[in-house]
Amino acid sequence: LAKTTQPISMDSYEGQEVNITCSHNNIATNDYITWYQQFPSQGPRFIIQGYKTKVTNEVASLFIPADRKSSTLSLPRVSLSDTAVYYCLVGPPGAGFQKLVFGTGTRLLVSP
Amino acid sequence: ETGVTQSPTHLIKTRGQQVTLRCSSQSGHNTVSWYQQALGQGPQFIFQYYREEENGRGNFPPRFSGLQFPNYSSELNVNALELDDSALYLCASSNRDRGDGYTFGSGTRLTVV
């Protein structure tokens, strides 16, 4: 599975939009980009998945440029409860039969 | 639909002892994967079970072993515990046949002293 690179940490304030960028230069043609959120002492939770252009759900948006070598997770109007670690992974879709390769993730701290 | 449940939530063991961690997969899921997460690190893949057979293993020694039962629940066994085995152990279930993504449990926090 392709290796990913993310910032180690980010700080924000309540109500702001947060954009976390992930680079994945060696992404394969059939790979999707998936983002997980993890709170302390809990398992990772699926946030969003996409292949190209833009995907939006009730939680976040995912922007993927044409070359797919990077992606940006956008969290609109963050709140204190969005403080968590965010992981970017690349791999086949519905990859419940593949091992997931996590990096160290991005620690987002949202302050009042 | 029930989620993934793990037990116990916390555990303290002495170096050299053996431990068994348990995982009940989400209803409808037939694949279970185990991950080890050290403090400040991302989860690392230990192994996966599909229909009671091991179906892939990460870079972990043989003293890490597992089982999957006919109801798709699973156990992770670690023998001869070392201090570095202290971590959060996560179980994730999915349905390989349907191509579902993973659902993670909240983990078992193991401390080896």
Burial class (CB in 10 A: 0-12, 13-18, 19+), A64: buried
Interface residue B60 vs chain A (CB under 8 A): no
pLDDT tens-digit readout, B12-67: 999 999 999 999 999 888 899 999 999 999 999 999 999 899 988 999 999 999 99
Residues of chain B with Cβ-Cβ distance to A102 below 8 Å are 42-44
**Residue A95 pLDDT > 60:** no
pLDDT tens-digit readout, B75-102: 999 999 999 999 999 999 988 787 777 8
**Residue A1 pLDDT > 70:** no
Tell me how crowded residue B18 is: count the other CB atoms within 10 A of its CB.
11
Residues of chain B with Cβ-Cβ distance to A46 below 8 Å are 101-103
Burial class (CB in 10 A: 0-12, 13-18, 19+), A34: buried
pLDDT tens-digit readout, A11-39: 999 999 999 999 999 999 988 999 999 99
pLDDT number for residue A10: 97
